[in-house]
C-alpha cells in the first residue's frame, strides 16, 4: 500500500514539474510535507540543501531520500520509477512527433505561460523554507520568537550571492559554518 | 558504422559521467551533453541538438532525465533512451542512499545539526536569489499577462495554499488556448 502511495506521489511530481531546477520543489513540498507528512518542513529543507550539494535532479534525489525513509531501498526504487515514468512516456512521444513534424509551437506556448507561475510557486516554497529557518518547525510567527542569527545569516548569504556572485554551494557551506560559529560562541 | 552495442556503451558511460559530476542542475547538464555529443562525438547535428534540448526543457520532469531520454532516443531508439535514463539515475540514487543512511545517524550530532540549521538560511538565500533573478526577468519582459499570472499564482500558492498542481493545470490550459488563438490570428 505504501509502495503505491509513494509511486503515485512521485508520479504527480514528475508529471507536473515544468521548467527544471527548482520547479519540482513546490510539488515535492505539496506531496511529501503537506499531503502525506512523510517529512517535516525542517527535514524537507535539509533534503533541498543536500540536493543542492550533490549531483542529480532534486526530484530524483527526493524520491531516493523519501523512498528509503518510508520503505527502504525498494521504496526508493519505486519512488524513483514513479518520478521518471511521466518523463519517459511524454519525452519519447514528443521526440517521436518532433522528429516527424518539427513543430512545437503549442509546447513552447504552454511553457511560456507556465514560466511566471513556476517562478511564483518557487517563491512560495522558498518562503516556507525561510519561515521554518527563522521561526522553527512550529512556525508561529512572532517578533520575540524570531531566530535573529538565522535572519542575519540569510541576509549575508543573499548579499554574497547577489553582489558577490559567489557559488551557491560555497555560500551554503558558509551559512552552515556561520551558524556553527554562533552556536560555539553561545549566541 | 559503429555497432549498436558500442553506441549503447558509449551512451551509458558518458551520461553516467555527466550525471555523477554535474552540479548545478539540469540546465548545466544539457549544455554539457551538447558539448559531448555534438562537439566531441559528432553524433548529433548542432541544430537538432538545440531542438532536442528545447524538448527536454519544455517537457515535464527533471531536465537532466529528459535530456538523457532525447539524446538516448535519438541515437539508439528506445533501448538508447532506457540506457541513458539508467545511467543518469544511478549516481544520484547511490549518493542519496548513502547520505540518507548517514543523515539519520548524524542529524543529532551537535556540529552537524548546527551546520544543517545554518544551511537552511543559506538554501533560503539561494532560492531567494534565483527567484529574484527570474522574477526580474519576467517583469522586464513587460508582458502584462505574464506579470498577472505570476502575481495570481503567488497569492494562490502562498496565501491560499492552493495545490500547485491546479496552478500548473490552469496555466497549461491558458497556454494552449493562447497559442491556438495566436495561430488563428496569424492566418
pLDDT in tens, B90-112: 999 999 999 998 887 888 888 88
pLDDT in tens, A159-176: 999 888 888 888 989 999
C-alpha distance from residue A73 to each of A10, A104, B98 (Å): 15, 39, 11
pLDDT beyond 80 at A119 = yes
Asked whether the beta carbons of residue A117 and residue B153 sit closer than 8 angstroms, the reply is: yes
Residues A34 and A126 in one domain: yes
Segment of A113-117, B66-70, B99-103 carrying the highest mean pLDDT:
B66-70
Helices (H), chain A: 2-16, 24-28, 41-53, 58-101, 105-135, 148-162, 168-185
Interface test with B, best of A15, A53, A56, A65 (most B CBs within 10 A): A56
Residues A151 and A129 in one domain: no
In a domain? residue A35: yes
CB pairs under 8 A between A and B: 345
**pLDDT band at residue A103 under the 50/70/90 scheme:** low
**pLDDT band at residue A5 under the 50/70/90 scheme:** very high
Percent of chain B at pLDDT above 70? 97
pLDDT given at position B56: 87
pLDDT given at position A187: 57
pLDDT beyond 60 at B11 = yes
pLDDT beyond 90 at B142 = no
Å from B73 to nearest chain A CA?
A: 7
Residues A37 and A104 in one domain: yes
Å from B1 to nearest chain A CA?
A: 22
pLDDT beyond 80 at B6 = yes
**Residue-range definition of the domain harbouring residue A63:** 2-136
pLDDT given at position B58: 81
Residue from the list A84, A122, A180 with its beta carbon closest to the beta carbon of B89: A84
Of A96-105, A121-130, A134-143, minimum mean pLDDT range:
A96-105
Q: What is the ipTM of this complex?
A: 0.84
Question: B32: closest CA among B15, B12, B52, B7?
Answer: B15
Higher pLDDT, A91 or A187: A91
pLDDT given at position B186: 80
pLDDT beyond 90 at B174 = yes
pLDDT given at position B8: 94
Of A39-53, A104-118, B90-104, minimum mean pLDDT range:
A104-118
Residues A173 and A93 in one domain: no
Å from B3 to nearest chain A CA?
A: 22
How many CB atoms within 10 Å of residue A156? 17
pLDDT in tens, B26-41: 677 888 888 889 988 8
The mean pLDDT of A128-142, rounded to a whole number, is 81
In a domain? residue A20: yes
In a domain? residue A77: yes
**pLDDT band at residue A76 under the 50/70/90 scheme:** very high
pLDDT beyond 70 at B187 = yes
The mean pLDDT of A147-156, rounded to a whole number, is 94
Q: What b-and-e string marks burial along B53-85, b requiring 16 or more CB atoms within 10 Å of the CB? A: bbbbbbbbbbbbbbbbbbbbbbbbeeebbbbbb
Higher pLDDT, A95 or A10: A10
In a domain? residue A142: no
Cα torsion B125, A11, B95, B101: sign: positive
Q: Which residues of A touch B129 (CB under 8 A)?
A: 158, 161-162, 168
B67 neighbors B30 (Cβ within 8 angstroms): yes
pLDDT in tens, A63-74: 999 999 999 999
Residues A14 and A50 in one domain: yes
pTM higher than the cut 0.90: no
Domain count, chain A: 2
pLDDT beyond 90 at A97 = no
Mean model confidence pLDDT for chain A: 88
Segment of A50-54, A135-139, B75-79 carrying the highest mean pLDDT:
B75-79
pLDDT given at position B57: 81
pLDDT in tens, B153-171: 999 999 988 888 899 899 9
pLDDT beyond 70 at B24 = no
In a domain? residue A141: no
Question: A180: closest CA among B98, B96, B122, B104?
Answer: B122
Residue with cell 538565500: B125
Å from A79 to nearest chain B CA?
A: 11
Residue from the list A86, A169, A179 with its beta carbon closest to the beta carbon of B115: A179
pLDDT beyond 70 at B25 = no
What is the crossing angle of helices A168-185 and B110-140, to 10°? 140
Residues A160 and A89 in one domain: no
Amino acid at each position: 500500500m505504501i509502495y503505491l502511495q509513494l509511486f503515485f506521489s512521485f508520479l504527480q511530481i514528475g508529471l507536473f514539474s515544468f521548467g527544471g531546477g527548482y520547479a519540482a520543489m513546490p510539488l515535492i513540498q505539496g506531496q511529501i510535507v503537506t499531503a502525506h507528512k512523510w517529512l517535516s518542513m525542517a527535514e524537507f529543507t535539509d533534503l533541498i540543501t543536500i540536493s543542492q550539494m550533490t549531483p542529480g535532479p532534486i526530484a530524483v534525489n527526493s524520491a531516493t531520500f523519501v523512498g528509503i525513509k518510508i520503505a527502504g531501498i525498494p521504496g526508493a526504487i519505486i519512488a524513483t520509477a514513479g518520478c521518471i515514468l511521466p518523463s519517459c512516456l511524454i519525452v519519447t512521444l514528443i521526440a517521436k512527433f518532433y522528429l516527424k513534424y518539427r513543430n512545437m509551437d503549442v509546447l513552447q506556448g504552454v511553457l511560456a505561460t507556465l514560466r511566471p507561475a513556476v517562478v511564483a510557486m518557487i517563491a512560495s516554497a522558498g518562503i516556507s523554507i525561510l519561515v521554518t529557518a527563522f521561526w522553527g518547525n512550529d512556525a508561529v510567527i512572532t517578533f520575540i520568537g524570531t531566530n535573529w542569527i538565522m535572519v542575519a545569516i540569510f541576509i549575508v548569504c543573499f548579499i554574497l550571492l547577489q553582489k558577490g556572485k559567489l557559488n551557491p554551494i560555497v555560500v551554503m557551506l558558509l551559512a552552515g559554518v556561520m551558524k556553527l560559529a554562533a552556536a560555539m560562541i553561545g549566541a | 558504422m559503429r555497432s549498436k552495442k558500442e553506441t549503447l556503451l558509449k551512451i551509458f558511460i558518458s551520461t553516467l559521467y555527466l550525471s555523477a559530476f554535474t552540479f548545478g542542475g539540469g540546465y548545466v547538464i544539457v549544455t554539457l551533453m551538447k558539448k559531448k555529443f555534438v562537439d566531441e562525438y559528432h553524433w548529433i547535428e548542432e541544430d537538432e541538438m538545440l531542438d532536442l534540448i528545447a524538448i527536454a526543457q519544455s517537457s515535464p520532469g527533471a531536465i537532466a532525465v529528459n535530456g538523457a531520454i532525447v539524446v538516448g532516443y535519438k541515437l539508439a531508439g528506445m533501448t538508447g533512451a532506457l540506457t541513458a535514463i539508467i545511467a543518469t539515475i544511478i549516481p544520484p540514487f547511490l549518493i542519496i542512499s548513502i547520505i540518507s543512511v548517514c543523515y539519520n545517524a548524524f542529524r543529532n550530532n551537535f556540529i552537524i545539526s548546527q551546520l544543517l540549521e545554518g544551511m537552511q538560511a543559506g538554501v533560503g538565500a539561494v532560492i531567494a536569489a534565483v527567484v529574484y533573478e527570474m522574477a526580474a526577468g519576467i517583469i522586464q519582459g513587460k508582458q502584462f499577462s505574464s506579470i498577472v499570472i505570476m502575481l495570481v499564482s503567488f497569492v494562490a500558492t502562498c496565501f491560499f495554499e492552493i495545490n500547485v498542481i491546479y496552478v500548473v493545470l490552469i496555466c497549461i490550459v491558458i497556454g494552449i488556448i493562447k497559442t491556438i488563438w495566436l495561430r488563428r490570428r496569424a492566418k
